[in-house]
Structure 1
Amino acid sequence: MSHYIWPGERAFRKRVADMADLWIVLSPNQKLEQFSVEIGWSRLQRFPELSMRPSSIAPQDAYDQNEYFCRLGEMVHGHDYWWTIEEFRQAQSIEELGASLEKLSASMVQERLQPRVKEAMDALEKHGIPYLEMAVQRFNAGNASQTKRTM
């Protein structure tokens, strides 16, 4: 797929009529029990090849970019936000360390994960998808005005 996707990430793409590829990336933290969701686009028909992810440009200022990514959590909460399944807690004893290494049952994992996934999906539906739809509208408007200039 791309050298710009980190291990463990899952990327989802929607191609919009030769205008842009819209991307949603689920990105698990490799060290902590949390994940982020990144949204963005490439107008170059590929996974965005950015020097850093997320982009340093604010979402409201990014519509003129050919490639872009932002964290959904930052868009929603105003700061770099990851959905935390379980807070990291330093073990205070050998017993606590042992307990932290015990395997959780599938039902326990689902119980802890489900609320965070719902929050992220709600944020995506309420903020992320409308943002990507606005980007497509702006791309379309830009294409229309560019066509008029070349006539």
Structure 2
Amino acid sequence: MRKEYGKALRDRFDREMKARLPTFKPFKSKSIYLFPGERVYHRILENPIHCFIILVPSRKDTDEFTIEIGWSKPGRFPELGMRPSGRPTPERTEFEQAELVCRLSDFWTREDVWWPVGAVAKLDVLNPKDQMEALMARVKPISPDEANEAVQGPVEESIDRIIAHAVPYLDEFARFQEAA
């Protein structure tokens, strides 16, 4: 993700999380399991159990992001060799695991959903006609106002999905832990 979009994305996501999901606080960690540019928000169920929402900007040359959610019973950022590390199941057997990270999109599709931002988001890069326009959009300078406008809709949509899917799932995980 280009730095202009990345900065606007992180700033907008921070503001939306504070406004719409205030129980999730920014989580600072020097974990080797986090990549540069990622933002982590956590809610502590009871020490040491933590629930996480992770903003994952693309590390590739694409202007897009995804969201991951999960938990850690040891009270740290999940130390998993691979993220995502699992998927939600109807039986919730994953609630027995000490740590888990899944993609937010696992709740409504089997596809790996990424939210595109910017001019390229509106183009079909597989269409030869749009390929040149997409290439030109990649080198065009981006103003802070343009970047803020480009991330607004995708961030709002992703937060809506977090509220609709991730929060109820993590609440269910909390109830499971209390009953265990």
Q: TM-score, normalised by structure 1?
A: 0.82
How far residue 107 of structure 1 moved from its aligned partner, in angstroms, is 2.3
How far residue 23 of structure 1 moved from its aligned partner, in angstroms, is 0.8
SS of corresponding position for 1:63? helix
Partner residue of 1:33?
Answer: 63
Change over 3 Å in CA distance of 1:124–1:57 after alignment to 2: closer
Give the CA RMSD over aligned residues: 2.1
> Given the alignment of the two structures, is residue 118 of structure 1 paired with residue 148 of structure 2, yes or no?
no
Tell me, in whole angstroms, the C-alpha distance in 1 between the residues paired with 2:169 and 2:148: 29
SS of corresponding position for 2:142? coil
> Given the alignment of the two structures, is residue 129 of structure 1 paired with residue 167 of structure 2, yes or no?
yes
The answer to whether the Cα contact below 8 Å between 1:39 and 1:71 also exists between their aligned partners in 2 is yes
Q: Relative contact order, CA 8 A, sep 6+: which one is greater?
A: 2
12-21 vs 1-10, which moves further:
12-21
Partner residue of 1:80?
Answer: 112
Write out per-residue CA displacement over residues 55-89 of structure 1, whole angstroms, 9 at most, x where no aligned residue: 13434431111101111122233321111113473
The equivalences for 1:43-122 within 5 A come to: 43-59=73-89, 60-85=92-117, 86-87=120-121, 89=125, 91-92=131-132, 97-122=135-160
Partner residue of 1:149?
Answer: none
The answer to whether the Cα contact below 8 Å between 2:33 and 2:79 also exists between their aligned partners in 1 is yes
Change over 3 Å in CA distance of 1:49–1:105 after alignment to 2: same
Which consecutive unaligned segments of at least 5 residues does structure 1 have? 143-151
Write out per-residue CA displacement over residues 85-144 of structure 1, whole angstroms, 9 at most, x where no aligned residue: 134737538xx74553121222222222111001100000111111111001001111xx
Instruction: Indicate the percent of aligned positions where both proteins have the same amino acid.
Output: 33
Partner residue of 1:140?
Answer: 178
SS of corresponding position for 1:77? coil
Rg: which structure is higher? 1
Which consecutive unaligned segments of at least 5 residues does structure 2 have? 1-28
SS of corresponding position for 2:138? helix
Tell me, in whole angstroms, the C-alpha distance in 1 between the residues paired with 2:159 and 2:137: 31
Change over 3 Å in CA distance of 1:99–1:79 after alignment to 2: closer
Partner residue of 1:42?
Answer: 72
> What amino acid sits opposite 2:49 in the alignment?
A
The answer to whether the Cα contact below 8 Å between 1:13 and 1:22 also exists between their aligned partners in 2 is yes
Partner residue of 1:21?
Answer: 50
Equivalent pairs counted in the alignment come to: 140
Tell me, in whole angstroms, the C-alpha distance in 2 between the residues paired with 1:14 and 1:99: 38
